[in-house]
């Protein structure tokens, strides 16, 4: 009997030893990493209670990813083997849903743009890509949606055929919104015959049927050396919340080669196209000349565009209202940026503009500031650096990449 199963026994022993070695090694290395935190300087501490900083710690031959909150530092090596397999740095919001709505979330994977949440509902959407065995097309693909009533605990789910799916070679879900009892799903679809189309699919939860398929942006006939690039604006953590607008940047690119064989790329057109969820109206934004000269928009919060430009006094911020189609405010964020220094990380959440410098070392901490996004009024300032008990750590760098929010 033993001879029959010896290979299986050896495999189990190797796996057990491997996992054991993993935990022993992790336990030994965890203690070598210092603790960082956020020291309050002034303002409302509540503005950063939900903030989680994604960072990378460098010292000698060490490179370790980390998450930093106001009071704690958690390094990647401290996560369990299972947590690493699932994605140690997954969005905190998804982790909260998995804890609070365990049954509904079972089997539902994806990024925040696969979800929608308000005070009444949690919604999940997916495009199930199924390639036909005969012609390898996507014609058997489906739209899947599931909705949880958070007050009653009742869950509803269904799937419908993805319209004209045989015409696409890919389809990516971009956003889900729940408007007047209808689910609206935005997808970016690659056309088999060339180009990209942006579609708005509308589904009725009562009848469990697809009631609308609107092409917001369609592929256009262009010369062979030209193509269109389309990108949806916004940060990932805003897509799961109720938004007034979806905004897309549409760029037409001309690609040629010189006689010497050098590749040349020229931008022929750059447009911003806004879709209003409630009315279903699509329009090209006609920006003031002042904003056209600014270049590309930096941030979008669902209703406003933010254009940011560094100067010798700080960062100039222009807020543009999509609803009114005019500049709402222009203010200065007083944060000094060195000539050779990387620009601060900036994002907008819940009408607060967060500005965070990128680098911490043994001599300098990094500031994190919060401003009223509409007026530019400072509402919080803090400093990211080593905790007092770790001040002796030297010759290190901590790179601050972005913010998450533990809602």
Q: Tens digit of pLDDT for each residue in 289-326?
A: 999 888 789 999 999 999 999 988 999 999 999 999 99
- The pLDDT of residue 381: 97
- The pLDDT of residue 279: 95
3-state secondary structure of 4: helix
Contact, 68 vs 55, CB < 8 A? yes
Mean pLDDT of the chain: 88
Would you list the DSSP string of 246-292? Answer: EEEEEEEEEEEE-TT--EEEEEEEEEEEEEETTT--EEE----HHHH
φ, ψ of residue 111 in degrees (nearest 5): -95, 180
Contact, 326 vs 320, CB < 8 A? yes
**pLDDT-based confidence at residue 407 (cuts at 50, 70, 90):** confident
CA distance 30 to 19: 16
Predicted TM-score (pTM) of this structure:
0.86
Q: What is the dihedral angle through the alpha carbons of 200, 167, 226, 174, rounded to the nearest 10 degrees? A: 30
Class of domain 35-81+303-407: mainly beta
**pLDDT-based confidence at residue 3 (cuts at 50, 70, 90):** low
190's enclosing H/E stretch is strand 182-191
Q: Tens digit of pLDDT for each residue in 252-266?
A: 999 888 888 888 888
CA distance 298 to 321: 14
CA distance 288 to 305: 13
**pLDDT-based confidence at residue 26 (cuts at 50, 70, 90):** very low
CA distance 384 to 69: 10
128's enclosing H/E stretch is strand 121-128
Q: Residue ranges per domain, the chain?
A: 1-31, 35-81+303-407, 90-285
Q: Tens digit of pLDDT for each residue in 157-190?
A: 999 999 999 999 999 999 999 999 899 999 999 9
Buried b (16+ CB within 10 A) or exposed e, 170-190: ebebbbbbbeeeebbbbbbbb
Bridge partners (DSSP) listed for residue 319: 306, 329
Q: Which has more pLDDT, 14 or 141?
A: 141
**pLDDT-based confidence at residue 85 (cuts at 50, 70, 90):** low
**pLDDT-based confidence at residue 9 (cuts at 50, 70, 90):** low
- The pLDDT of residue 29: 44
Which range is most confident: 242-246, 333-337, 392-396? 242-246
């Amino acid at each position: 009997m033993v001879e029959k199963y010896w290979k299986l026994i050896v495999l189990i022993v190797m796996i057990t030893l491997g996992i054991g070695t993993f935990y022993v090694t992790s336990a030994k290395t965890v203690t070598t990493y210092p603790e960082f935190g956020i020291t309050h300087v002034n303002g409302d501490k509540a503005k950063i209670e939900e903030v989680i900083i994604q960072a990378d710690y460098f010292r000698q031959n060490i490179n370790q990813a980390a998450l930093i909150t106001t009071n704690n530092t958690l390094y990647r090596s401290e996560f369990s083997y299972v947590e690493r397999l699932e994605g140690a740095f997954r969005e905190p919001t998804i982790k909260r849903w998995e804890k609070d709505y365990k049954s509904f979330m079972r089997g539902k994977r994806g990024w925040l743009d696969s979800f929608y949440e308000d005070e009444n509902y949690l919604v999940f959407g997916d495009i199930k890509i199924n390639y036909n065995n005969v012609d390898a097309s996507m014609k058997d693909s489906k739209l899947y949606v599931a909705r949880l009533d958070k007050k009653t605990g009742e869950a509803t789910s269904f799937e419908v055929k993805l319209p004209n799916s045989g015409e696409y070679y890919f389809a990516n879900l971009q956003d889900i919104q729940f408007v007047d009892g209808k689910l609206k799903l935005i997808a970016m679809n690659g056309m088999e015959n060339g180009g990209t189309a942006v579609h708005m699919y509308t589904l009725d939860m009562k009848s469990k049927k697809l009631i609308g398929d609107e092409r917001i942006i369609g592929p256009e006939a262009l010369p062979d050396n030209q193509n269109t690039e389309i990108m949806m604006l916004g940060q990932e953590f805003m897509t799961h919340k109720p938004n007034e607008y979806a905004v897309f940047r549409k760029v037409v690119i001309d690609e040629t080669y010189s006689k010497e064989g050098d590749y040349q790329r020229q931008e022929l057109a750059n447009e911003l196209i806004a879709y209003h969820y409630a009315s279903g109206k699509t329009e090209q934004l006609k920006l003031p000349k002042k904003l056209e000269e600014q270049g590309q928009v930096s941030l979008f919060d669902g209703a406003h565009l933010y254009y940011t430009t560094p100067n010798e006094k700080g960062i100039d911020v222009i807020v543009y209202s999509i609803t009114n189609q005019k500049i709402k405010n222009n203010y200065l964020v007083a944060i000094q940026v060195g000539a050779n220094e990387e620009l601060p990380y900036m994002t907008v959440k819940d009408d607060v503009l967060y500005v965070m410098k990128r680098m911490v070392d043994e001599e300098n901490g990094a500031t994190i500031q919060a401003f009223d996004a509409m007026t530019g009024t400072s509402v919080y300032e803090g400093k990211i650096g080593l905790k007092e008990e770790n001040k002796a750590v030297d010759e290190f760098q901590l790179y601050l990449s972005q913010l998450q929010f533990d809602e």
